Amino acid sequence: MTRRIVLALVLGLMASAAGADEFETRHVTVYGTATLQVAPDQMKWHLNVRNIKPTSAGVVEEHSGIVASVLTFLKESQITEATIQTSHMQLGEKWSGPRGSSVREGYFASTDVDFTLTDFTMYSPIWIGLSAFPNVTVRGIDMDHTDRIRFQNEARVKAVLAAGDKAEGIAEALGLRLGEPLIVDEDLSATEGWWAHSITTNVEASVGEPAGVDESLAAGSIAVRARVRAVFELLPQQ
């Protein structure tokens, strides 16, 4: 491929990537992405307590008793009280059947209970203990790390360095040299994960080792990602 064709391709990429940004100098726009695979040290549990009675009498009292028992169990299991939270309390009628001909089955009460587990060896005891409670559902468990912000900062720096290396390679291929960065901004959607699986990772590293875990649990790792867009000036070779 001739240098003229390469230059035309790169200029086309620059025009599409830069969008509405306008610069008076020649420039190159690149993206840098970094992913850190981090061993989690937090397990965030999401529970729902929901009970139904044929009549409204006693449904709240029964529900309050179940919730209180669950909270007592969590505290006795050495769950840090500051991480235990109840929310989304509801009271209403329970209906079933097709629309237009549904029948009221009774009344329900519902409460969400969230807590954070840091001792992974307690995974099975917590799971088994919760299974003994009536009307308790585990809606999900999320892995996280207490130092996620630090890892996010590390990933961001690696993403910037990756963008710089990529831009320098393009400049060298064109017989030019890289000037000062004109724009560097972070693509926050990469950290949210909704499309992160589709992006190309320039840097990937593993951080930390999993702490002691219950033998029935595979803690795995969590991905901490950062992606930046950088625009560099292109200058003639000196």
pLDDT average, residue stretch 122-144: 94
Considering only the C-alpha atoms of the chain, give the largest distance between any 2 of them, rounded to a whole number of Å: 86
pLDDT at res. 12: 42
Given a cut of 80, whether residue 41 has pLDDT beyond it is yes
Given a cut of 70, whether residue 16 has pLDDT beyond it is no
- Mean pLDDT lowest for which of 1-5, 156-160, 177-181, 213-217? 1-5
pLDDT in tens, 198-230: 445 676 666 555 556 666 677 788 999 999 999
d(CA 76, CA 226): 39
pLDDT at res. 98: 73
Strand bridging mode 176-186 / 222-236: antiparallel
Angle in degrees, CA 165, 166, 167, rounded to 5: 95
Residues in a beta bridge with 36 = 205, 224
Q: Is 186 in contact with 226 (CB distance < 8 Å)?
A: yes
pLDDT in tens, 103-115: 677 899 999 999 9
Residue among 205, 214, 153, 209 nearest 39 (CA): 209
Share of the chain above pLDDT 90, in %: 64
pLDDT average, residue stretch 127-134: 93
pLDDT average, residue stretch 14-30: 66
pLDDT at res. 100: 64
pLDDT category of residue 23 using cuts at 50, 70 and 90: low
Given a cut of 90, whether residue 83 has pLDDT beyond it is yes
pLDDT at res. 95: 75
* Structural domains for the chain: 13-39+147-236 (3.30.110.170), 43-144 (3.30.70.2970)
pTM of the predicted model, to two decimals?
Answer: 0.71
pLDDT at res. 104: 72
**Whole-number average pLDDT of the chain:** 83
CA distances, 149 to each of 38, 116, 118 (Å): 12, 18, 18
